[in-house]
Amino acid sequence: GAVVSQHPSWVICKSGTSVKIECRSLDFQATTMFWYRQFPKQSLMLMATSNEGSKATYEQGVEKDKFLINHASLTLSTLTVTSAHPEDSSFYICSARGYRGPEQFFGPGTRLTVL
Amino acid sequence: AQKITQTQPGMFVQEKEAVTLDCTYDTSDPSYGLFWYKQPSSGEMIFLIYQGSYDQQNATEGRYSLNFQKARKSANLVISASQLGDSAMYFCAMREGRNQGGKLIFGQGTELSVKP
């Protein structure tokens, strides 16, 4: 299957700092990338959908100015958590979809801890 | 309204036995897809199986099969011959229509524990 990577796999930061998470499709071109957030023992919550070269579409209730998403190329999308606070601590997972097939391929996730 | 419902927060199964994980969905779109993913404790989401709304036959992938009952709007996952490595969270997900951007909506998940 297709491979999606995420970097970093975990990050600890101080409150008020910004954190950037990268999502890359390694062996296919991703027409669309998705960012999810997951709290412990809960389901995945879609935050936003991004298409290469266009603005991301955010789900209701997700702050656009806090969670900046950039989809600069067909293989790279980034999520920047700006001015992070402890309540932003979570597991962030990206997924990517290519031109063929129905599958969405997920990255391994990034665990963010804000102190 | 909940679009994807998994009513079993936790399930136990004996090793080598079969287990069924329930999933019901709600949509008025005639074109949709149903997915099952496995999430072990490491956090990665592993794609297991896919069923399209127009597929005539139930999907199968190795030990995984999807019991698709369209009229009842259910898409239960059947795992045959359970293994200890099957212990994980299992999520059912749906993608609606061609105009929804391809996003997946996930159910609450079922935590499966396989007993030796």
| Confidence label for B100 from pLDDT (cuts 50, 70 and 90) | low
Count of C-beta atoms within a 10 Å radius of residue A7:
14
Contact A69, A52 (CB under 8 A): no
Pairing between β-strand B4-5 and β-strand B24-25 as defined by DSSP bridges: antiparallel
Confidence check: pLDDT of A110 > 70: yes
Single out the residue of A93, A98, A43, A49 nearest to residue A71, CA to CA.
A49
Interface residue A102 vs chain B (CB under 8 A):
yes
Q: Is the backbone peptide bond immediately before B116 cis, with ω within 30 degrees of 0?
A: no
Encoded tokens for A103: 């599958």
Question: pLDDT tens for residues A34-92?
Answer: 999 999 889 999 999 998 878 899 999 999 999 999 888 889 999 999 999 999 999 99
**CB < 8 Å to A90, chain B:** none
Rounded to an integer, the average pLDDT of B80-105 is 88
Query: What is residue A63's predicted lDDT score, i.e. its pLDDT?
Result: 93
| Confidence label for B69 from pLDDT (cuts 50, 70 and 90) | very high
Contact B58, B50 (CB under 8 A): no
Query: What is residue B98's predicted lDDT score, i.e. its pLDDT?
Result: 62
Single out the residue of A64, A78, A105 nearest to residue A21, CA to CA.
A78
Interface residue A111 vs chain B (CB under 8 A):
yes
Interface residue B11 vs chain A (CB under 8 A):
no
> Alpha carbon of A46 to those of A94, B40, B56, B59: distances in Å?
9, 19, 30, 26
H/E element, B49 = strand B46-52
Q: Look up tokens 């031109």; give the residue.
A: A99
Backbone angles phi, psi at A99, to 5 degrees: -80, -25
Query: What is residue B22's predicted lDDT score, i.e. its pLDDT?
Result: 98
Which of B10-14, B28-32, B73-77 has the lowest average pLDDT? B28-32
Encoded tokens for A111: 């665990």
- Residue of chain B whose alpha carbon sits nearest to that of A108: B44
Contact B61, B49 (CB under 8 A): yes
Q: Is A69 helix (H, G, I), strand (E, B) or coil?
A: strand
Query: What is residue B2's predicted lDDT score, i.e. its pLDDT?
Result: 66
| Confidence label for A1 from pLDDT (cuts 50, 70 and 90) | low
Mean pLDDT over each residue of chain B, to the nearest integer:
93
